[in-house]
Chains A and B, each alone.
Chain A
Amino acid sequence: MVLQQKSIFLFVVAAALRLAVFYLFPHITSVLSEQAEIATPVSSYKRLLEGLFLYERGVSPYDGGVYHQAPLLLVVFEFLPPAAVFTLLDMLIAYNIATIAERLALPSPRFRKLDGGQLAIAYLFNPFTILSCLGHSTTAFTNAAITQAIASASTGDAFGTMFAAALGSYFSLYPALLLPPLILLWAQTKKVQLQLQSIVAPAAVFVGTLVLLLSVSALLVGNLWDVLISCYGAQITVTDLTPNIGLWWYFFIEIFDAFRNFFIGVFWIHLIGYVGALTIRLPEQPLFVISSLIGLITVFKPYPGISDVSLYLGLLPLYKHIMPLTRYTFVAASVLLYATLLGPAFYHIWIYAGSGNANFFYAITLVWSLGLSMLVGDSLFAVLRDEWEMLRPEMRGKDVRQI
């Protein structure tokens, strides 16, 4: 049993809190699902409803040019009540985090055994998590798939890992980037030497699952090409420049048309470049690589929302033993808090009040991204320092400088 009684009680409280808000304030979803911070073009519940409307009437959900999400989500919401779905997804993510935490054992002398329930509760009661659940951000599906993949990998279940990773990639592509550290994590848990033969079967599961999911989608929509172009094409080429808290939309509004494709390539390659480097640099800490990659992807992906941040903030405490080694957490936390409060205000000033312009909101999203990257960079530094101290125990507590 991963959870203790106290944690189970708090799980129930968290679920009850969500359901109570849905019941007492039925309009909260329509308000929150319009917030740029919660709903992006690829995770908006409003857009999903539009797609669902078309789908239920036998029209391709992508015909309106508004819906850019995976077709299987339509089937989910065709039959299930959204409030229950999103509450359950949050519970699942929290439970997965608890599983990961319980399984985690690191060689660092600073490491103490984690209480999974605590981390799960921290995730469940994070305001970002609650808000994105109330705003029905469909990123929750991706987050659930990612945490499921990590949880399976840390219990040594190759099939489950690959299945969940494929599901995540199916929902929003980028979880495919987490495959190298996921495989490393699985190998570490199983204590197997990684060779080509040992990853053939998992890779086959991944590809097979993706093919299966895509064929089902093609059957649902009636046209595979439609799905690929409107769902993944839109996510890759950033056709919808609705403002969000990421760095892409403003840049691609301003860029010269002739260079648009080139810079889309540059931005994606920049994101992909981290995967190899981080995995190679920290081969013994794949879990940290995964959580850092999630942090980096949250900063640099085209359509980030606070739901992505909530996942990163949910995984970061797994490495709470490195907290004493971080240097800028106070600044990073203050910057994030400051951006969280000013972001909606500046968005309102720009869009509704008309007394500000797009630069107000973009500036605050820059600050927000700066805060997040500080957090990622600082934790990375701390982990490297921790590794170094394991190598040279005599240097504990001494100042270091980069040379």
Chain B
Amino acid sequence: MVPDDHLQAQSRDLASNCTYPGHTFTPMATPPESPREASMKSRVIWSFWIVLILLGLPTWWTTTSIYRASLPTDSMLKSHKELWYSIPVCLFSPSVPLSELARLGNLVQMYGKGPQDLFKFDVHAEKDCTKFPSALAVSMEAGDGYSFAFSPESGSVKARYSSSDLEGLPSRIAESLQSAYLEEHASIAYLMAMNGRNSDAIQDFVKTLPGDLMMEVQKSANRAFKSSSEYHLTFSLFTAGPAPSSWDIQAALNKHIQPILHALSSTTNISVASQIQLYSSFSPSVQPQQTENGWQLRKEDLTSFVNTAEWPLSPSIGTGPTINFIAYIPAQNYIPIILEDSQSNSWLVPQWGGITILNPRLIEREESELGLSDLPSYLDLEQLQPAFENFQTQLLQLLGISQSSKLPLHERLKSFQRLSGLSLYIRTSSNLGSLARLAQHLSSIPIPRHVLHSVEHALDRLEDFKLCLGKTTVSSWPTCLGSVREAFVDSEKAFFDKSMVGQVYFPDEHKVAVYLPLLGPIGVPLLVGLIRELKTITTRKKGA
């Protein structure tokens, strides 16, 4: 570090030898650089460059290199082009021997196939069908004449046949099954068509369906929320004035909502919350019209009825969508409010929730002689009944559960579970496909290891679910739905991973903007210094 004595002495000599009298000094004349100064200068330049190379380069390399796990793009893109769909059916009979029943089952399965094996009935013959709650139980009984009837309580089927017509029995049962599940099949066809799957077969199938059924399926698909692994229900009581301030929500939920939730609980996570808000009037833009029976809300008012500015309706809690149910109690001077052309005083907002206007009975004040009356401070179960009956049907509609009267509710819920499983499957595979295309298209985005893990897990779970759909897994439907739900959650996690999404919006050109401040003011002087230094080295070498 201490400069060479020899050099120093030399520089002193140089300094004393060279004299610059003031009058000869011109701006053009540059004093010669002493060797000591030159060596110091080059050492300063090198000290900067050594720091830059020893510390800067490794820093640059480690902090800006992108980790890209290699995703199984091929299987992500194409493994889910083809789908099969089967509805499990369990045949049993106290009288017919099992082998006979099994033969019958095979024939029914053969007759009941949809076009190009798109859908089928997975028919089994068993001694005891209660072991397979996911399957439709069909009990065969000999009788006079053919009949095929659902029992509304258990959801099972009693099929009678006359022993004289055993030949035509399988095709008749298959026909009955097909007509009972026509709507489910139409929904599947719609779902697949919307997502571009199995297109030829779907086209053929849709042509055979009645037009109004397809319309109905489309309408109900537009009303319902997209399938999700979990939902949140929020029941809100909004009152325009100070009363009523409480309601028997628990009893109402237990009576009307809980049975549905219970039936769905094995496959779907549904959480329920309730709230009461006083002095929460509807949007000020809505003006009820006075009629002889009270007040009337016109149809065009309904779209702006929800007071989004003041009503505390959370858009979404957690991962799943929130379904809102609102019971609205008008102010006392507006009671009763009647909806135009509506018996239920209630309407549904597609993919959002349901609203019911409740007009509670007024209670006369005891001490008043003028016949003054008040709103009740408490709404009991009986008063809530109409609202919750509406909410019940609306909940079914919003979840996408079929409204058809052909099947008992129990069967419709099962059908919903199958459909939502399939829908989740399609969404998962489209998530994975998009992710694969994104990873192929954008070579600059990082793909962290945990994304790879999520993708692999999702693919495995999807494979499990595919087995469920195609193969005879009569008993494990909840497990199947569980795996597709896991796959869906994982695929969402992978696709929306924070570290990747951020980079999607960061094209390579922007990097110039990031590096430019560095390259400009800092890089240029350093580079010029280095070039000069290298020049002097080469000239010195030439001189020597």
- List the interface of chain A (C-beta within 8 A of B): 180, 184, 187, 193-194, 256-259, 261-262, 264-266, 269-270, 272-273, 276-277, 279-281, 283, 391-392, 394-395, 398, 401, 403
Contact = CB atoms under 8 A, between A and B. Distances in A.
A269 B55 CA distance: 7
A272 B55 contact: yes
A334 B63 CA distance: 40
B506 A258 contact: yes
B22 interface: yes
Contacts of A392: 15, 20
B2 A262 contact: no
Interface in B12-70: 12, 15, 19-20, 22, 27, 30, 40, 43-44, 47-48, 50-52, 55-56, 59-60, 62-64
Contact of A256 (B27, B50, B514): B514
Nearest to A270: B522
A184 B44 CA distance: 16
B503 interface: yes
Contacts of B47: 273, 276-277, 280
- B-side interface mostly: helix
Nearest to A255: B514
B502 interface: yes
Contact of A403 (B19, B30, B50, B510): B30
Given A262-B63, A276-B48, A394 B20 contact: yes
11 contacts: A194-B2, A256-B514, A258-B64, A258-B446, A262-B59, A262-B60, A265-B60, A269-B56, A276-B50, A280-B40, A391-B15
- Specify which of B40, B47, B48, B52 lies most central, judged by the most chain A CB atoms within 10 Å of its CB: B47
A4 B446 CA distance: 67
B51 A269 contact: yes
Nearest to A194: B1
A256 B48 CA distance: 27
B3 interface: yes
Interface in B503-520: 503, 506, 510, 514, 518
A257 B502 contact: yes
A390 to B, nearest CB: 9
A257 B514 CA distance: 12
Given A187-B2, A261-B62, A270-B522, 13 more contacts: A184-B1, A256-B514, A258-B446, A258-B503, A259-B64, A262-B59, A266-B56, A269-B59, A273-B52, A277-B47, A280-B47, A392-B20, A398-B22
A144 to B, nearest CB: 27
A261 B43 CA distance: 29
Contact of B502 (A194, A258, A398): A258
B339 to A, nearest CB: 46
Complex A-B, nearest 3 residue pairs according to Cβ-Cβ distance, in ascending order: A265-B59, A276-B47, A261-B63
A94 B123 CA distance: 95
Contact of A281 (B2, B12, B40, B503): B40
A207 B50 CA distance: 24
Contact of A269 (B1, B22, B52, B514): B52
A94 B63 CA distance: 42
A66 to B, nearest CB: 25
Contacts of A394: 19-20
A261 B59 CA distance: 9
A392 B56 CA distance: 39
- A-side interface mostly: helix
Given A187-B2, A283-B1, A259 B514 contact: yes
Contacts of A262: 59-60, 63-64
Given A193-B2, A277-B48, A256 B55 contact: no
Contacts of A283: 1-3
Contacts of B15: 391-392
A34 B27 CA distance: 55
A401 B40 CA distance: 20
Given A265-B56, A269-B55, A394-B20, A256 B43 contact: no
A280 B503 contact: no
Contacts of B522: 270
Interface in B447-484: none
Nearest to B19: A394
Nearest to B59: A265
Nearest to B511: A259
A182 B25 CA distance: 40
A276 B51 CA distance: 9
- Specify which of B22, B51, B510 lies most central, judged by the most chain A CB atoms within 10 Å of its CB: B51
A310 B199 CA distance: 77
A388 to B, nearest CB: 10
Contacts of B52: 269, 273
Nearest to A199: B1
A62 B27 CA distance: 62
A258 B56 CA distance: 17
A257 B22 CA distance: 58
A109 B40 CA distance: 23
B506 A266 contact: no
Contacts of B50: 276
Contacts of A264: 63
B51 A272 contact: yes
Interface in B117-133: none
Contacts of A187: 1-2
Nearest to B2: A194
A180 B446 CA distance: 41
Nearest to B18: A392
Nearest to B14: A391
Given A265-B59, A266-B518, A280 B44 contact: yes
Contacts of B502: 256-258
Contacts of A391: 11-12, 15
Contacts of A266: 56, 59, 518
Contacts of A184: 1
Contacts of B446: 258
B506 A256 contact: yes
Contacts of A279: 1
Contacts of A257: 502
A193 B15 CA distance: 25
